[in-house]
């Protein structure tokens, strides 16, 4: 797998656990999918580790939420529970989670709800937020979006951090296709008010999914505050796509975090988008999957990585029956089985059928021939006829 003696991948009943050993601690990335007819069996032995769960994402019917928490002993950790727009709510598809062993994890609360986990090491302070909601559930969707960003700020302020430390975000919008443009406008407005375009624009995922609370959107974020110059966080260009900011979608295609002992590459939600920002292969799920894999592979290779470096991935399927098609596409390309959590959810355009987000890890040094850097772009020459992704 990853070319490091400090990284190991193990199978468990429902999926994979990828472990990174760092000094006296262990970082664990958990990816799982339901197997068999019991919708709740995936929660019986979760987490499959003695480590503290930092954050968890569950993709499945909201009706299973309470029973699943009970099976996980109350699940007193940050959680994003998501039922895709196109999901009938009768099934649980998958789980993606991050756990930490050997570090003191502090919980972050908003309105008496646990929404974050914070920890520190010699190089940086960290905070992972999951399940952040707007403060006013009755406000307009645009106002709820701004409120969600503000709540991320409030949560970070509780541990002495702010939005300038955010490297990655997740947004799950109820009825996404009917207001994604409004969401993007609100996000851009917030970013402008916080001068985000003058520094790192976070990597991100935006997907159509409802939540158990009935609000317009639920969010997650990863914030990292370096303590020294051994930690470098940078935006990474996608060799096969234009910057998303070119068509009014305010996120980076990928962000890389470099530490003294490894690099982590976080690839944003990626779909079948051409360099000009338009959808490609609207009539073929198979072709969309292959193009998406082309794009992700190009980003990986630009950083001296490949599919074997993957630590976690989430595949978003407009039709969950396309999961075996995705797996067959991977076999055709010689891609090894990925530590992937499947999700049945709407992608951000009506003609997109598949999206994937992926994290990968490699040694700190980057082969010189693929070393690249990229300055954030906030293009004023925006194409009015394009829908944001």
Backbone angles phi, psi at 71, to 5 degrees: -65, -25
Ordered DSSP codes for 69-97? HHHTTT--S-EEEEEETT--SS-EEEEEE
Whether residue 255 contacts residue 234, with contact meaning beta carbons closer than 8 Å, is answered with yes
pLDDT tens-digit readout, 226-277: 999 999 999 999 999 988 777 667 899 999 999 999 999 999 999 999 988 8
Residue 228's CB is within 10 A of a number of other CB atoms, namely 9
The highest-level CATH class for domain 124-228 is alpha beta
Residue 346 is classified by DSSP as B
Beta bridge partners of 376: none
The answer to whether residue 368 scores a pLDDT higher than 50 is: yes
The reported pLDDT for the residue numbered 370 is 53
The highest-level CATH class for domain 1-102 is alpha beta
What is the Cα–Cα distance from 119 to 159, expressed in whole angstroms? 10
In the block, which residue shows the tokens 């760092």?
Answer: 22
The tokens describing 226, both together, are: 């370096």
SS3 296: helix
The domain ranges of the chain are 1-102, 124-228, 235-389
pLDDT tens-digit readout, 102-159: 999 999 999 999 999 999 999 999 999 999 999 999 999 999 999 999 999 999 999 9
What is the Cα–Cα distance from 63 to 81, expressed in whole angstroms? 10
pLDDT tens-digit readout, 50-106: 999 999 999 999 999 999 999 999 999 999 999 999 999 999 999 999 999 999 999
Q: Length of the chain in residues, anyone?
A: 389
What is the Cα–Cα distance from 15 to 370, expressed in whole angstroms? 32
Assign a CATH topology to domain 235-389: 60s Ribosomal Protein L30; Chain: A; (3.30.1330)
Backbone angles phi, psi at 134, to 5 degrees: -65, 155
- Whole-prediction pTM: 0.93
What is the Cα–Cα distance from 366 to 81, expressed in whole angstroms? 36
Residue 139's CB is within 10 A of a number of other CB atoms, namely 15
The answer to whether residue 381 scores a pLDDT higher than 70 is: no
Cα–Cα–Cα angle for 188, 192, 197, rounded to 5 degrees = 90
pLDDT tens-digit readout, 169-203: 999 999 999 999 999 999 999 999 999 999 999 99
Residue 252 is classified by DSSP as B
Ordered DSSP codes for 6-36? TEEEEEETTEEEEEEEETTEEEEEEEEE--S
The reported pLDDT for the residue numbered 23 is 83
The reported pLDDT for the residue numbered 384 is 29
Q: Would you call 131 exposed, middle or buried from its count of C-beta atoms within 10 A (0-12, 13-18, 19+)?
A: buried
The tokens describing 70, both together, are: 């009970």
From 324, 386, 327, 316, select the one nearest 353 (Cα to Cα): 316
What is the Cα–Cα distance from 84 to 296, expressed in whole angstroms? 23
Residue 288 CB contacts under 8 Å (≥ 6 apart), including other chains: 271, 272, 280, 281, 282, 352, 353, 354
């Amino acid at each position: 797998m990853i070319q490091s003696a400090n990284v190991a991948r193990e199978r468990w009943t429902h999926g994979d656990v990828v472990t990174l050993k760092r000094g006296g601690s262990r970082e664990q990335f958990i990816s799982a999918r339901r197997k068999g007819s019991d919708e709740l069996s995936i929660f019986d032995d979760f987490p499959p580790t003695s480590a503290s769960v930092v954050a968890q994402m569950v993709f499945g019917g909201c009706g299973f939420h309470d029973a699943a928490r009970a099976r996980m002993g109350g699940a007193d950790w940050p959680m994003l529970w998501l039922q895709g727009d196109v999901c009938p709510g009768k099934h649980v598809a998958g789980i993606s989670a991050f756990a930490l062993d050997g570090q003191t994890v502090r919980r972050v609360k908003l309105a008496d709800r646990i929404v974050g986990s914070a920890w520190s090491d010699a190089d940086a302070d960290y905070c992972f937020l999951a399940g952040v909601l707007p403060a006013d559930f009755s406000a307009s969707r645009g106002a709820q979006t701004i409120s969600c960003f503000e709540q991320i700020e409030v949560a970070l302020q509780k541990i002495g951090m702010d939005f300038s430390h955010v490297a990655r975000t997740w947004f799950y919008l109820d009825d996404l296709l009917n207001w994604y443009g409004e969401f993007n406008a609100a996000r851009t407005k917030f970013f402008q008010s916080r001068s985000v375009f003058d520094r790192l624009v976070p990597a991100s995922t935006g997907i159509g999914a409802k939540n158990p609370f009935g609000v317009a959107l639920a969010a997650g974020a990863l914030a990292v505050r370096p303590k020294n110059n051994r930690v470098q966080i940078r935006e990474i260009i996608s060799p096969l796509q234009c910057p998303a900011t070119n068509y009014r979608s305010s996120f980076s295609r990928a962000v890389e975090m470099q530490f003294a002992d490894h690099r982590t590459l976080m690839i944003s939600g990626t779909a079948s988008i051409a360099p000009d920002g338009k959808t490609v292969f609207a009539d073929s799920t198979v072709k969309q999957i292959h193009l998406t894999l082309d794009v992700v592979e190009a980003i990986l290779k630009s950083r001296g990585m490949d599919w074997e470096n993957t630590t976690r991935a989430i595949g978003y399927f407009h039709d969950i029956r396309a999961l075996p098609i995705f797996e067959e596409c991977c076999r055709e390309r010689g891609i090894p089985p990925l530590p992937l959590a499947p999700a049945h959810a709407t992608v951000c355009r009506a003609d997109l059928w598949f999206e994937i987000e992926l994290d990968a890890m490699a040694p700190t040094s980057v082969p010189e021939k693929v070393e690249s850097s990229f300055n954030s772009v906030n293009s004023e020459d925006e194409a009015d006829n394009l829908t944001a992704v």
